[in-house]
Amino acid sequence: MSAEVKEAVAAELLEDREEDGQKEENADEETSSDSDTGSVSSWCATAIEQTAGQKPVEFEIVYVHISEDAKEVDLTRHRMKTIHGLEMFTQIEKLCLRWNLLKRIENLDCTANTLTELDLYDNQIEKIENLSALTHLITLDLSYNRIAIIEGLDQLVNLKTLYFVHNKIIRIEGLDKLVNLEYLELGDNKIKKIENLDNNVNLKRLFLGANQIRNIENVSHLHSLEVLSLPANAIIHIQVC
């Protein structure tokens, strides 16, 4: 093939690519226009995340339209690093933030008047904080985080269900004010002793599997208890006291 022919073919290919690129841009503009009018409730974008010393990683961001009147908001697996932007949800009752990258509990006071269920399962939270205003909470899930101390729950007197599966908790504590608690899940932690449940007389289900407990103790006052689960501990003799 002569040099002249090669140049002609290359020019034609370049022209085709430019036309294809223009078509894609036009399609993007049309999609954007649809989104602006509200006819599209979700759309995608591509972003680049780069950590120092590592190669850039390309990932897809999915934007989801949620009604301001929504009572249930599910933001599972959105790579969220902070809790923010919830002020618009004036009727929210259930908030799910599972499988994100959250390190702090924050900016939830705006949901205080209506929120009854909060799910923070599988994040990177190390401290229980900023929950005092959520006095209507009935269910709280903090499983699969990095929490070592149970604290900051004194104001949540309406809590009935509480999950702390797979954290770093070494002691049962900080539950004195939760007199309405019925379901407590503390499985897969580092707890060595059953204790500090004196005020939790309404407990019906207590799960303490996969800890380091050696004795069954301090549960005889829990007259409402229907389930006491203690698999995978270090219990040798069964003596309830």
Query: For residue 25, what pLDDT is reported?
Result: 47
Query: For residue 7, what pLDDT is reported?
Result: 47
Can you give the pTM of this predicted structure? 0.78
Encode pLDDT of 52-91 as tens digits.
Answer: 667 776 655 666 788 999 999 999 999 999 999 999 999 9
- The number of distinct structural domains making up the chain is 1
Q: pLDDT below 50 — which residues of the chain? A: 1-14, 16-21, 23-42, 46
Is residue 104 situated within a structural domain?
A: no
Query: For residue 239, what pLDDT is reported?
Result: 75
Is residue 18 situated within a structural domain?
A: yes
Is residue 76 situated within a structural domain?
A: no
Query: For residue 51, what pLDDT is reported?
Result: 59
Domain that holds residue 51: 1-64
Is residue 26 situated within a structural domain?
A: yes
Is residue 152 situated within a structural domain?
A: no
Phi and psi angles of residue 211, each rounded to the nearest 5 degrees, phi first: -120, -155
Is residue 12 situated within a structural domain?
A: yes
